[in-house]
Structure 1
């Protein structure tokens, strides 16, 4: 009876003009849309005026009508081309002919996908993916009769049925699919759908020579909650299919190849690609590393596997890597940057190189999943862990690396636009700035607060205790830190993660009195509780490092006194000498190779024309008399000025061997760079040796590196000028 009355009921209800809505959406007219709303302001259409963190919305939006099966309830779906980890389609209910409040993507209505069983084939003549997905569904007793699933709008569902073969009524608008499950909830739902992804360098892309379903929602999701999967992928002969987890089988026959992958780690974001890639494998320390590409050379692919080995050895200290292999897929169709897939990563280029960021996501984003709906916390950890690896895990002199790879905690104006702990995809580019920027700087400051071992133990505790398959957030890490350190650090997380901005302060009245350095901290913004690195220079030239609380005694709001006990005659003090604190910076950082090299004119001795290729700026035909602003690449054996400069820096050379800070390299398989202060106040640089990759010198002014350009030893200059440096004479 209900179904026969439904058309009349719909005719009697106020109708919305979806064509008019679509026109306003395409024009990005949020104000105009608000006239069609009830209780909804133009602010709820924020996505029309502000692109997402990774560009969603830049290609334009459109509106479609979604009518639920059986009940006929209507929704406006505002849809666009999607890339992953960003805005999704936006859904608004229609109530009495008006647009109601936006339905958050986190709303599950009591349903959850636990597992996918994919059967995937590509029709290259039509540039389509044809997918059958047997979805294992978990529904709570109070779940809604309608189950909402989301995918990229370029995928269209053609059939839906229960495990017993009975059809399920469904409707779709954009990438939003509404399934009428009825009163008896099925444990499995089988979906058939077709996709024509055509968005290279942005999202999914299917061409006649490659099928890349990366940065693409080629699978249905509910609330972006993690799920496991098994994927059977049929590809033409000569192609390789790459998906997450372990390769279970590879079967050839019938003019094609069938790959089966099993992904037992519940994940939010899935990656899958196939093409005629060359694959180079290497077993290092009992683990297989591989690189797949149609563009990289064999040598470059072999180098990349070597570079991964030390990275994974370091991350294994947090929790053992769960699979037998890790790899990199390098394809220009991906575009710029890279995307983690936990058992591999996809790159648009840029390899070979030391990349500890994407592998870090296996632990932070994989073992600990992130939906991106609340925050970009896992990007904070990936950026932070890249620096942590450089300081603590890479080869070389650890004391030297610890200073060379401290990240300058320079704030961005975007940090005032939101809170790290609660700025998810809806915050747009601000979420990206807070995730990749401020959050990573905060973790570096936390390491300084609780110590490196305390930080490692806190991450281990989080990985150990978090419930498998459940999304993680900053609050969960805070609990793990408290357990690992047995300290209440709520104040730290409150001031850095749960409020916007950064510390704005100045230090005044610094003096040496009665064996103490005394001073005052004056905040020009919100008050913070601050403990800083401090560097002291004594009368004898000795350097002393310590940590000091500069907010010890509150005088009044915004003003604090502090005292630092010292022994002996201290003549100079530098607060935060390595720029670890997230604060206002008004002075330039100390000179470093990274900041200076590109602007230096390069003179290369013809006898060493193959040294340090690609390093430095414009080439010089001959060595000028005035060396200021020059990079000299030569052997001390052929150029006397190089002998003098090497001695000044502390490089000791014997034939092809160079020794510095206890590290010895062969100049045929490594090199060195240094900034040299000239007698008349200028500066030049010297370079020696050969590398396969461009050297990474961090913030150092002197660097020795191996054949892959990895920093082994060096010297990093602290801040001895600026508003936080004081003479105590």
Structure 2
């Protein structure tokens, strides 16, 4: 979903134009300007930009070393993790205000940039520094996306209109910023999708004073106002045409990826006024405040979202709308398909899952929820808290998962910069709902064997606390695959009632407007259980892979009128603490006993009135085990 190595000359000339022509942006070059640019603009910088960009795109640490100060694997570890195939780069020189109130350019950065879908990677910003030994300019540490750089976006006043045939979006946004206490920087930084080019940046309103800025890719540096809380008026536009998300078609459009400024992907509230083409309807996050059809047959709708969220989506199209009033809430489908049965199927499932989640997690925060269909090149489905966007072959099946994101990702926000904990919660919530409907089935032995064999090769590269990029298959497999399995293990460990209570508390008590992580849920679990589950979160969420176990030394003895089975559960390092169900099958039925395996070799003794025919470790697959190398199933023992 991402994307030629640019030549240094146009890149550098763009950066230098914005720097050397600063008077056009409201401030003039100063004699205190960094000697970095003066000494190396015609020599070091071209070499730095060209060489570093080539090395980044080759994913080559050795090739990066000549251009990097410090440990290259520390400063540029991201090049081995990114799913972006080809990076562009540019020189960023932020406007800085001196103590005398005069603007100057005193720092420089190289920005590696490209378009990114939401919930994935972001642009990377590295300082240009002077090497202490030889005085050469090099790339230093990164300002990571997790760093808000002393700023928070608190609110958006967005106005959007589109030229659908040209695939062009036009927007203004009056953004409320707040300087974090004690963290004021010499200048401000925010991020926005590289699709959009800032045309105007003004203080307060469209008629306010022009604010000096420079944009490279999706990074905007600007002269920071003196107030600790201020508003900036942005006017910007861009062509939107991608695969996977963010595109226009003849009868619809979906805009998902950072069409608004943000800092560190932190939650913010918004009012969005959306003007859709004639005969189209628009949908955005929040409560519908007003709607009107204009003289040119376009439609303007305003949505107010008082819940601070990280990710915003705007959909519009020639939808067939079906609405239903349910328990004081309006639920609806916005479909492009001509399928008369689909609206009711979607709304029926939406009602059932909404009831389940409100009963077990807490009240849904909106008075409306919509299922919106897209037929474009959309990668699955995407939550938007008061609605969700569904791609091909996802309806109605994925409604439950996406609806649950209102709780997990919406009210309790997730930034996808450290983990994707909320995807694990959404998958687990979907599973809880399916069980409540009696849809859980014991997996056939052959499929269970294949699943455990596949797990031995999965989840090896990322831990649950660090897998965060949904566009990377290895990371997504951990968030969507391993995560819900581990939550099911936690449920069995603390009991389902306590698990649901912990989820309720997480939802109801988490501080509004702050992104959550696994460690926050760990605190809730400890509180609800009055215990210390550090061991659980450490072994399952801070390790890669899954535990490997097998039966060893199994013996069957006739003792009196019954039988005794002894044996061992052998674990391969690292050792886990596991509650394992051991099932004995006899001619009269099955009996199950749970043991705690917490050593490399854990001995067990089982008793049976009749002769057992088979011993099976965890036949329901409640514990996500992998299998040791070899033929057969080392978790099943058949008695002769």
With the length of structure 2 as denominator, give the TM-score of the two structures: 0.84
Aligned twin of 1:120: 160
Shift, 1:496, TM fit? 0.8
**In structure 2, which of residues 464, 468, 473 is the aligned counterpart of residue 424 of structure 1?**
468
Aligned-residue offset at 1:525: 2.2
Matched, 1:243 2:290: no
Q: 2:594 is matched with which residue: 547, 569, 580?
A: 547
Question: Is residue 74 of structure 2 the alignment partner of residue 33 of structure 1?
Answer: no
Match of 2:532 among 472, 483, 488: 488
The aligned runs of 1:135-154 (5 Å cut-off) are 135-142=175-182, 143-154=184-195
SS across alignment from 1:100: strand
Shift of 1:579: 2.1
Question: Residue 536 of structure 1 contacts residue 573 of structure 1 at CA under 8 Å; is this kept in 2?
Answer: yes
Alignment-derived partner of residue 275 in structure 1: 317
Deviation readout 1:9-40 (Å, 9 max, x if unpaired): 45544341134544555555554333222114
Question: Which structure is larger by alpha-carbon Rg, 1 or 2?
Answer: 1
Q: 1:341 to 1:494 in 2, by over 3 A?
A: same
Q: Residues 580-604 of structure 1, C-alpha deviation per residue, up to 9 Å, x if partnerless?
A: 2222237999xxxxxxxxxxxxxxx
Q: Secondary structure at the match of 2:460?
A: helix
Contact 2:245 2:378 in 1 (8 A): no
Is 1:294 aligned to 2:332, yes or no?
Answer: no
Distance in 1, matches of 2:374 and 2:471, equals 30
**Residue number in structure 2 paired with 1:191:** 234
Q: Paired residue for 1:522, among 538, 561, 570?
A: 570
Q: Is 1:474 matched with 2:513?
A: no
Cα offsets for 1:337-377 (capped at 9, x unmatched): 11111111111121533322111211111111111111111
Question: What is the alpha-carbon distance in structure 1 between the residues aligned to residue 511 and residue 52 of structure 2?
Answer: 43
Match of 1:161 among 202, 205, 229: 202
Q: Counterparts of 2:266 and 2:34 in 1: how far apart (Å)?
A: 39
Corresponding position: 1:95 with 2:129: yes
SS of 1:261 mapped into structure 2: strand
Matching of residue 314 in structure 1 with residue 356 in structure 2: yes
- 1:588–1:504: structure 2 CA closer, same or farther, 3 Å change rule? closer
Alignment of 1:16-415 (within 5 A): 16-17=45-46, 18-25=49-56, 30-41=61-72, 44-48=75-79, 50-52=81-83, 57-58=84-85, 60-69=86-95, 70-96=104-130, 97-124=137-164, 126-142=166-182, 143-163=184-204, 165-199=208-242, 201-207=243-249, 209-214=251-256, 216-255=257-296, 256-317=298-359, 318-355=361-398, 356-392=400-436, 394=437, 398=438, 401=440, 403=442, 411=455, 413-415=457-459
- 2:470 touches 2:476 (CA, 8 Å); kept in 1? no
CA distance in 2, matches of 1:561, 1:412: 24
Distance 1:724 1:426 in 2: 33
1:580 corresponds to which residue? Answer: 622
Residue-pair matches, total: 580
Listed one character per residue, the Cα deviations across residues 678-721 of structure 1 (whole Å, up to 9, x for unaligned) are xxxxxxxxxxxxxxxxxxxxxxxxxxxxxxxxxxxxxxxxxxx9
Provide the rounded CA distance (Å) in 2 between the counterparts of 1:343 and 1:441: 27
**Kept in 1: contact 2:280–2:318 (CA 8 A):** yes
Query: Aligned partners of 2:377 and 2:365: how far apart in 1?
Result: 26
Deviation at 1:177, TM superposition (A): 0.6
**Contact kept? 2:276, 2:316, Cα under 8 Å:** yes
How far residue 270 of structure 1 moved from its aligned partner, in angstroms, is 0.8
Q: Distance in 2 between matches of 1:257 and 1:537?
A: 66
What are the superposed Cα offsets for residues 528-581 of structure 1, whole Å, 9 maximum, x if unpaired? 111112323345x13223422234xx5xxx223233566676554321112222
CA-based RMSD of the aligned residues comes to: 2.9
Q: Is the 8 A contact 2:380 2:394 kept in 1?
A: no
| Range moving further from structure 2, 483-492 or 461-470 | 483-492
Task: Kindly indicate whether the alpha-carbon contact (under 8 Å) linking 1:226 and 1:469 is maintained by their aligned counterparts in 2.
Answer: yes
Q: Flag structure 1 segments of 5+ consecutive residues without an equivalent.
A: 590-720
Report the TM-score, using the length of structure 1 for normalisation: 0.74
2:196–2:236 contact (8 Å) kept in structure 1: yes
Aligned to 2:478: 434
C-alpha separation between the residues in 1 aligned to 2:584 and 2:523? 35
Is the CA contact 1:21–1:63 (under 8 Å) kept in the aligned structure 2?
Answer: no
Correspondence 1:552-567 to 2 at 5 A: 558-564=600-606
Aligned equivalents of 1:337 and 1:239: distance in 2?
A: 23
The CA deviation at 1:315 is: 1.0
The structural deviation recorded for 1:289 is 2.3
1:603-622 matches, cutoff 5 A: none
CA distance in 1, matches of 2:58, 2:190: 28
Question: 1:598: which partner in 2?
Answer: none
Over 3 Å counting, the alpha-carbon distance change for 1:524 and 1:401 in structure 2 is closer
Whole-Å separation in 1 of the counterparts to 2:608 and 2:411: 46
Could you tell me how far 1:430 is from its partner in structure 2?
2.9
Question: Whole-Å Cα distance in 2 between the matches of residues 472 and 364 of structure 1?
Answer: 10
State the distance in 2 between where 1:524 and 1:63 align.
46
Query: Which residue among 579, 582, 585 is the counterpart of 1:534?
Result: 582
- Counterpart position of 2:495: 451
- 1:107 offset after TM fit, Å? 0.8
Give, in whole Å, the separation in 1 of the partners of 2:543 and 2:59: 31
Aligned 8 A contact 1:233 1:258 in 2: yes
Cα distance in 2 between the residues matched to 1:265 and 1:578: 40
Gap runs ≥5 in structure 2? 1-26, 96-103, 131-136
Which is further off, 345-354 or 226-235?
345-354
Deviation track 1:77-98 (CA, whole Å, cap 9, x = no partner) reads 1111211111101111101221
Contact in 1 for aligned 2:583/2:616 (Cα 8 Å): yes
Measured against aligned partners, the alpha-carbon deviations of 1:34-82 in whole angstroms (never above 9, x if no partner) come to 3222114166445555543xxxx13x21111111123242111111121
Return closer, same or farther for 1:500/1:509 CA change in 2, 3 Å cut-off.
same
Partner-residue secondary structure (3-state), 1:247? strand
Conservation of the 8 A alpha-carbon contact between 1:573 and 1:727: yes
Counterpart contact for 1:300–1:351, Cα < 8 Å? no
Moved more, 276-285 or 76-85: 276-285
